[in-house]
Amino acid sequence: MILGIETSCDDTCAAVLAPSGEVRANVISSQGIHGRYGGVVPEVASRHHLELINAVVAAALDRAGISLEDLSLVAVTAGPGLIGALLVGVSAAKALAAVRRLPLAPVDHLQGHVAANFLDPDPVEPPFVCLIASGGHTLLAEVVDHDGFRVLGRTLDDAAGEAFDKGARLLGLGYPGGPALEALARDGDPESFAFPGVDGRPGRRSDFARSLDFSFAGLKTALRYRIADMGEAELASRRADLAASYQRSIVESLVGRAERALEQTGLGRLAVGGGVAANGPLRTRLATLGVEVKVPPVQLCTDNAAMIASAARFGVRLEYPRYLDLDAYPTGIEPELARGPRGS
- pLDDT per residue over 192-239, tens digit each? 999 976 544 444 555 566 789 999 999 999 999 999 999 999 999 999
The Cα 167–Cα 224 span in angstroms is 8
CB contact at 8 A, 16 and 60: yes
Q: Find the mean pLDDT for residues 269-283.
A: 94
CB contact at 8 A, 50 and 29: no
- Cα angle 108, 175, 302; round to 5: 30
Residues 6+ apart with CB under 8 A from 172: 239
CA distances from 224 to 66, 149, 163, 194, 227 (A): 52, 36, 12, 13, 5
Q: Comparing 2-119+300-337 with 128-295, is the CATH topology the same? A: yes
Q: Which residue from 89, 14, 2 is spatially nearest to 55, judged by alpha carbons?
A: 14
Share of the chain above pLDDT 90, in %: 81
CA distances from 105 to 75, 96, 259, 280, 313 (A): 5, 12, 33, 34, 9
DSSP string, 280-328: HHHHHHHTTSSSEEE---HHHHSS-SHHHHHHHTTS--BPTTGGGG---
Beta strands in 109-185 (DSSP E): 128-133, 138-145, 148-154
Give per-residue pLDDT as tens, 297-309: 989 999 999 999 9
The Cα 84–Cα 45 span in angstroms is 8
Confidence category of residue 331, pLDDT binned at 50, 70, 90? confident
Domain ranges of the chain: 2-119+300-337, 128-295
> Would you state the pLDDT for residue 38?
63
Please, what's the b/e burial string for 123-158 (b: 16 or more CB within 10 A of its CB; e: otherwise)?
bbebebbbbbbbbbbbbbbbbbebbbbbbbbbbebb
CATH architecture of 128-295: 2-Layer Sandwich (3.30)
> Would you state the pLDDT for residue 44?
86
Is residue 262 classed exposed, middle or buried when 0-12, 13-18 and 19+ CB atoms within 10 A define those classes? Answer: buried
Residues 6+ apart with CB under 8 A from 91: none
Q: Is the pLDDT confidence value at 332 over 60?
A: yes
3-state helix, strand, coil in the chain (%, to 5): 45, 20, 35
Q: What is the mean pLDDT of the chain?
A: 90
> Would you state the pLDDT for residue 175?
80
CB contact at 8 A, 94 and 100: no
Collapse the DSSP code of 104 into the 3-class scheme (helix H, G, I; strand E, B; otherwise coil) and give the result: strand
Beta strands in the chain (DSSP E): 2-6, 11-17, 23-30, 73-79, 104-108, 128-133, 138-145, 148-154, 269-273, 292-294
Give per-residue pLDDT as tens, 11-46: 999 999 998 899 999 999 986 664 565 667 778 889
> Would you state the pLDDT for residue 75?
98
- Terminal alpha carbon distance of the chain: 30
Q: What phi and psi values does residue 30 have, to the nearest 5 degrees?
A: -85, 135
Q: Is the pLDDT confidence value at 342 over 90?
A: no
> Would you state the pLDDT for residue 41?
79
Q: Which residue from 60, 89, 61, 59 is spatially nearest to 76, judged by alpha carbons?
A: 89
Give per-residue pLDDT as tens, 96-112: 999 999 999 999 999 99
Give per-residue pLDDT as tens, 123-161: 999 999 999 999 889 999 999 999 999 999 999 999 999
Q: Tell me: domain 2-119+300-337, CATH 3.30.450.20, correct?
A: no
Q: What phi and psi values does residue 306 have, to the nearest 5 degrees?
A: -65, -40
